Amino acid sequence: MVKKKDYSAGLPDPTPIIDEIISKYPSKVAKKRKKAMVANDPEIDQPVQANVRTIPGIITQRGCTYAGCKGVVLGPTRDIINLVHGPIGCSFYAWLTRRNQTKPETETAENYMMYSFSTDMQDENIVFGGEVKLKEAIREAYKLFNPKAIGVFSTCPVGLIGDDVHAVSRDMKEELGINIFGFSCEGYRGVSQSAGHHIANNGIFKHVVGNNDRPREGKFQINLLGEYNIGGDAFELERLFEEAGITLVSTYSGNSTVESFAYSHTVDLNVVMCHRSINYIAEMMEEKYGIPWIKGNFIGGSSTAKTLRKVAEFFDDAELIEKVEEIIAREEAKVEAVKAAIKPKVEGKLAMMFVGGSRAHHYQDLFEELGMLTVSAGYEFAHRDDYEGRHVIPDIKIDADTRNIEELTITKTDNPELWRDDLVAKKAELEKKGYEFSHYAGMMPQMKKNSLVIDDVSHHETEKLIEFYKPDLFCAGIKEKYVVQKSGVPLKQLHSYDYGGPYAGFEGAINFYKEMERMLVTNVWNLVDTPWKSEPEIVGSMTINA
């Protein structure tokens, strides 16, 4: 069991720990990894190496492009058959493992999320090509389920053997008359899941968005981007929007349908939660339709209130603003009550967080609300703008790994009914008042001085961090869960929420506070040491002589 440290007087300079960590690395590795570690100073800009290759042999948290494309972005959409073209594993591992909850409109409405579809490529498909099998699989899926859309996802061998999923998709779309489209999301592309997000964004934008120009409904229409409904987060946000009278046209992609993506370009505003995974869609919608986007954050009671207010401010409607304030007042009272009960029990506890491309930032709000201290944090697959803010985007060096991810060229729609001059005007007007659009400040400005920022943290680094900081809580994913816990430090999974949640919105904040109470106030960790550890006559000083 680790002994806890006291940082109430401020965090120590982490430079020695950085040095100690890299001392174990071969020099090239050390040099590279050092660039990914920064002693934070919220007052100044410091570059963090991010979105670069993981060094072979390093035990990393990262997954692959396929995981980002199929697993993260397309996975949560229920009314599409996501057909994985490849050997069985890729489809198997992405089968129900991400807790994207979904609630079909009716008991018989389409929902393929409990299913795993694969072409299960065999030896001969690798040797002779898999296009014929892929076509037949699409036909069989159509025959069995009659879906309105099929997405085809490429796994590693597909590109290498020359299977053209896009051509196959086009052919089958023509043959069957339903929407079919492919993704070149082979696992080796890019350096992490991030490439997959981009590929998914592109694919949806190209093949789905704008397919249905249905008339607008409701006064205030938005899309929520980058909310994947882990543990029911989206349900909680849906509840809030509905009560406020804001029409949530589409969520990308928690509790979503391709049907709604098709008319998601008819909204007034895009609210981006997970900047890393979905900012592309927001950008492209603005370029094509003139729809502005703002960054939102619904993790934490205050963040939720702030984001709701910002949305209401955008629409500038007295009734809406009043309703939103009413909701905030009511919900924050509940949040405060729980917080007041729990905060004294967890205040001052140390947390560290290495996860995803958004949560490692957002969850700092929740810890702040509880008076906990985030001593170190980093993303698994973010880019520099997620750390430092979007103002560094122009400075980001595009390397070969990123370059080969398609960058769509978007042009303004030529349908005058779809191009939103009104919104362009509104944006300009609001910006004058200081309202921030297309803005994300990144994680680092929010973090304490001398907190340690590490991108793509490795197992070795994780061990060292625990040794040094002796945190009360570590946040990461399933691969890290038991590694960290074996050291006597509880780990909260921030991908799967450890099968808890929701943690978004007001109810989510309450749930998270309670979860912190459970994890940090318990005595179970005191069971770890045997009581005879401290009784010398029992441990080993006696010989077996009976």
Partner 1 sequence: MLLRHTTEKEIDRKALTINPAKTCQPVGAMYAALGVHGCLPHSHGSQGCCSYHRSALTRHYKEPVMAATSSFTEGSSVFGGQANLLQAIGTIFSVYDPDIIAVHSTCLSETIGDDLKQIVAKANADGKVPDGKHVIEASTPSYVGSHVTGYHNMLQSIVQHFAIKTDEAKRQVNLLAGWVEPSDMRELKRISKMMGIKTVLVPDTSDVLDAPMTGKFEMYPKGGTTIPELVSMGDSMKTVAIGEWATKGAAIALDNNCKVPFDMLDLPIGVKATDRFIMSLSKAGAVAVPEEIDRERGRLVDMITDMHQYFYGKRVALFGDPDQLLPLCEFLLDLDMVPAYVVSGTPGKTFGKRMKEIFGDKIDQVKFKNGANADMFQLHQWIKQEGVDLLIGNTYGKYIALDEKIPFLRMGFPIVDRVGHSYFPTLGYMGGIRILEKILDLLMQYQDENSPEEKVELVM
The nearest distance, CB 91 to partner 1, in angstroms, is 7
Q: Which of 192, 194, 364, 374 binds partner 1 (CB under 8 A)?
A: 192
* Cα separation of the two ends of the chain: 33
155 binds partner 1 (CB under 8 A): yes
23 binds partner 1 (CB under 8 A): no
Contact 298, 233 (CB under 8 A): yes
For tokens 């729609």, what's the residue?
413
120 binds partner 1 (CB under 8 A): yes
Part of the chain binding partner 1 (CB under 8 A), chosen from 12-20, 88-96, 172-180, 311-319: 88-96
Contact 216, 296 (CB under 8 A): no
Part of the chain binding partner 1 (CB under 8 A), chosen from 48-56, 290-298, 322-330, 338-346: 48-56
Part of the chain binding partner 1 (CB under 8 A), chosen from 216-224, 297-305, 329-337, 534-542: 534-542
DSSP-assigned letter for residue 409: -
Contact 229, 251 (CB under 8 A): yes
Q: Which of 75, 182, 490, 505 binds partner 1 (CB under 8 A)?
A: 490
Part of the chain binding partner 1 (CB under 8 A), chosen from 275-283, 340-348, 445-453, 458-466: 458-466
156 binds partner 1 (CB under 8 A): yes
Kindly tell me which of 42 and 89 has the beta carbon lying closer to partner 1.
Answer: 89
For residue 102, how many C-alpha atoms fall within 13 Å in the half-sphere facing its CB?
A: 29
67 binds partner 1 (CB under 8 A): yes
270 binds partner 1 (CB under 8 A): no
The nearest distance, CB 503 to partner 1, in angstroms, is 14
Part of the chain binding partner 1 (CB under 8 A), chosen from 258-266, 273-281, 388-396, 529-537: 529-537
Q: Which of 8, 409, 523, 534 binds partner 1 (CB under 8 A)?
A: 523
98 is catalytic: yes
Kindly tell me which of 15 and 122 has the beta carbon lying closer to partner 1.
Answer: 122
The total of other beta-carbon atoms located within 10 Å of residue 539's CB is 11
Contact 200, 284 (CB under 8 A): no
Residue 3: exposed, middle, or buried by beta-carbon count in 10 A (0-12, 13-18, 19+)? exposed
38 DSSP β-pair partners:
453
Q: Which of 7, 145, 419, 437 binds partner 1 (CB under 8 A)?
A: 145
540 binds partner 1 (CB under 8 A): yes
Part of the chain binding partner 1 (CB under 8 A), chosen from 143-151, 240-248, 324-332, 411-419: 143-151
Kindly tell me which of 32 and 207 has the beta carbon lying closer to partner 1.
Answer: 32
64 binds partner 1 (CB under 8 A): yes
Q: Which of 76, 151, 182, 187 binds partner 1 (CB under 8 A)?
A: 187
Collapsed DSSP state (helix, strand, coil) of residue 180:
strand
The nearest distance, CB 477 to partner 1, in angstroms, is 8
Q: Which of 93, 419, 435, 437 binds partner 1 (CB under 8 A)?
A: 93
Cα angle: 338, vertex 342, 345; to 5 degrees:
175
75 binds partner 1 (CB under 8 A): no
Contact 65, 162 (CB under 8 A): no
Q: Which of residues 218-237 bind partner 1 (CB under 8 A)?
A: 232
Collapsed DSSP state (helix, strand, coil) of residue 157:
helix
Cα separation, 251 vs 272, whole angstroms? 10
Q: Which of 4, 49, 88, 212 binds partner 1 (CB under 8 A)?
A: 88
Please confirm whether the linkage preceding 541 is cis (ω < 30° from 0): no
122 binds partner 1 (CB under 8 A): yes
Write down the catalytic residue from 98, 189, 207, 362. Answer: 98
207 is catalytic: no
80 binds partner 1 (CB under 8 A): no
For residue 327, the one-letter residue type is I
Write down the catalytic residue from 85, 99, 189, 197. Answer: 197
Pairing of the two strands 452-454 and 37-39: antiparallel
The total of other beta-carbon atoms located within 10 Å of residue 214's CB is 10
Q: Which long-range contacts (CB under 8 A, 24 or more apart) does 523-528 make?
A: 525/1, 525/488, 525/490, 526/1, 528/1, 528/488
Q: Which of residues 372-411 bind partner 1 (CB under 8 A)?
A: 400-401, 404
Q: Which of 45, 136, 326, 407 binds partner 1 (CB under 8 A)?
A: 136
Q: What is the DSSP string of 214-278?
A: PPP-SSEEEEEEEE--BTTHHHHHHHHHHHHTEEEEEEEETTB-HHHHHTGGG-SEEEESSHHHH
Residues marked active site are found at 64, 67, 98, 197
